Amino acid sequence: MKTTITVNGQASPLDLDPRTTLLDALREHLNLKGSKKGCDHGQCGACTVLVNGVRINSCLSLAVMHDGDQVTTIEGLAQGEALHPLQTAFLTEDAFQCGYCTPGQICSAVGMLKEAADNWPSWATDDLDSAIALTDAEIRERMSGNICRCSAYPQILAAIRSVVGDAA
pLDDT at 75: 97
pLDDT range class, residue 166, cuts 50, 70, 90: low
Q: Is the pLDDT of residue 72 over 90?
A: yes
Q: Are residues 113 and 60 in the same domain?
A: no
Is 70 exceeded by the pLDDT of residue 79?
yes
Q: Which domain holds residue 150?
A: 85-164
pLDDT per position as a tens digit, 107-163: 999 999 999 999 999 999 988 989 999 999 999 999 999 999 999 999 999 999 999
3-class SS letters over the chain: CEEEEEECCEEEEEECCCCCEHHHHHHHHCCCCCCCCCCCCCCCCCCEEEECCEEEEHHHCEHHHHCCCEEECHHHCCECCECCHHHHHHHHCCCCCCCCCHHHHHHHHHHHHHHHHCCCCCCCCCCCCCCCCCCHHHHHHHCCCCCCCCCCHHHHHHHHHHHHCCCC
Say yes or no: 89 and 72 in one domain. Answer: no
Percent of the chain with pLDDT over 70: 98
Residues 67 and 37 in one domain: yes
